Chain A
Amino acid sequence: MINFQAVSKKYNSHEALSDVSLEIPDSEFVFLVGPTGAGKSTLLKLIIREELPSAGRVFVGSLEVNKLSSSQVPHLRRRVGTVFQDFKLLPQRTVFENVAFPLEILGLDDDEIESVTKDTLALVDLEKLANQFPGQISGGEAQRTAIARAMVLRPEVILADEPTGNLDAGSAWEVMQLLDRLNSLGTTVIMATHNMDISSSLPHRTLEIQKGRLVHDSKPKGTKSPAVKKKNA
């Protein structure tokens, strides 16, 4: 469970988040929507302790994120996978090596790394591209590689910050379906997007942020995915 208790974040005089309280239960899929600059990315950064709140408390499970020592932060980040709009893949590493990277950092042996990485690539349907470099694959495939890397440690939570922002409509829909599938396997997914079409494509809870304030928390409604799919296709 992720829990924000009266969280504010200020950058000098600018208030990026203001008195945000929310609760996201395990295995939930949540859209975080709002215009660019509303505070969505700040909220995600607070979860992985890229930023510290100016006020309030942030919990991931039983961990109070803002009270973690710097040596505990890597352990938090192994529990929370991250996916970004610009993929953040290492260009000189193959798809397989990019996905295997977190496992290498954990110090697993080569056989285990190979086995887990292959399983994860199969999960995102990228086995055939395992030996390609990021420069040789499409945007959608690059984002699926990034999702595979985020998933390889089997985290409890995946944070996706505008993961479809750089993708064409078809690839965006594939990424959405993939995130939805990972969620159905029990992973909590929090996806930030400014694209309302994307957020309405799947029947999930939506948190709307405007000027740093949580202004709307809507429960799942009916899906619009076919329309989005048709429109995007």
Chain B
Amino acid sequence: MKNLQRLVKISAQRITRNPYHALAAFLVMFFTFFVVGAFILVSFGSNVLLRYFESRPAVTAFLKDGTTTDKVKSIQDTLVKTQVVSKTRYVSKEEALKIYKERNKDQPLLSEFVTADVLPASIEVSTYKIDDLSKVAGILQKNSDVEEVVFQQNIIETLSSWTRALRNIGGGVVVFLLVTSFLTTLIVVGLNISIHRDEIEIMRLVGATANYIRTPFILEGIFYGAVSAAVATSVLWAIIAWFSPALQRIFSGIPLFPVNSSVFGYLLLFEVVAGIAVGVIGSFVATRKYLTV
């Protein structure tokens, strides 16, 4: 324990005596973990968005006025028999009015002249797979009681492909930045080893073990990784908190903003662990490559 305290002190002295090296390592790793964090959040957000759209009724069939409940039941039975439908829901004119008023509660003028008669009753249908939406839409369109069929296959497919592309690009960028961070740690720790070669030689001569000599450099890597990852996540947190009200308006109705603080808690944990891992690996490789003990 006493030795660990002394090794931490040695490490801290080396970092503070070479502030530009420390700053270079910090900035590169900060940028890496900022981008990593941003991609994780965007990926997380796009998943929420996708789930939101998938959970929404994907096909809506607006019914002609006067469609009886028996006919509605018959349409629903027909859909269930296809075995591709996960859920159907009948929305009466009165319910449609309620939904309309709820959505426009901030703009009372829009609701003032709207009555239940104006709005059509509808059947909302969800399928297990997006691919089955057009099949369901086709069945509904053939039904004489259906006025119009609306389905959002394109939105979900587009969102899906964007999410996939984002993950692929993001993954590539993240790997590139992590490698850059690893190399930066290796170079900075390697430079520090070179600067302290006299001290290392003395350590060896007075009987320091290899671990005693290596540990301060490993601690240095851990410091760069942990601090830069923690600061990057905190900055990301602050930025998103700052823009949350505006984003909340843009994504109105979608449960994205404000981002739950537990998400940032997990992100912080993940980034700090990843930062420590990059720092440890970078400094470990540096000590193996540049340090003779």
A117-157: CB near B (< 8 Å → 1, else 0) gives 00000000000000000000000000000000100010000
Is B2 close to A, CB under 8 A?
yes
Contact (Cβ within 8 A) A71 B207: no
Decide yes or no: A109 and B207 within 8 Å by CB, A88-B201, A90-B199 being known contacts: no
CB of B67 to closest CB in A, whole Å: 86
B207 and A102 contact, CB distance less than 8 A: yes
CA A106 to CA B203, docked complex, whole Å: 11
Q: Tell me the total A-B contact number using a CB cutoff of 8 A.
A: 48
> With the chains together, A193 CA to B104 CA distance in Å?
97
Q: How far is the CA of A102 from the CA of B202 in the complex (A)?
A: 9
CB contacts (< 8 Å) of B210 on chain A: these are 70-71, 74
Main SS of the interface on chain B?
helix
Count of chain B residues near A, Cβ 8 A: 19
Given A88-B201, A90-B199, do A109 and B2 touch, yes or no (CB 8 Å)? yes
Closest B residue to A86 by CB, please name it: B198
Q: Does B114 contact A (CB under 8 A)?
A: no
Contacts of B205 in A (CB 8 A): 48, 77, 82, 88
Residues of B contacting A153 in the complex (Cβ-Cβ under 8 angstroms): 206-207
Question: B293 — nearest CB in chain A belongs to which residue?
Answer: A70
Question: Is B209 touching A149 in the complex (CB atoms < 8 A)?
Answer: no
Give B contacts to A, CB under 8 Å: 2-3, 6, 13, 17, 198-199, 201-210, 212, 293
Residues in A lying within 8 Å of B, measured CB to CB: 48, 70-71, 74-78, 82, 88-90, 92, 101-102, 104-110, 149, 153
Pairs across A and B, CB under 8 Å, 10 listed? A70-B210, A70-B293, A77-B204, A90-B198, A92-B17, A102-B206, A102-B207, A106-B207, A107-B2, A110-B2
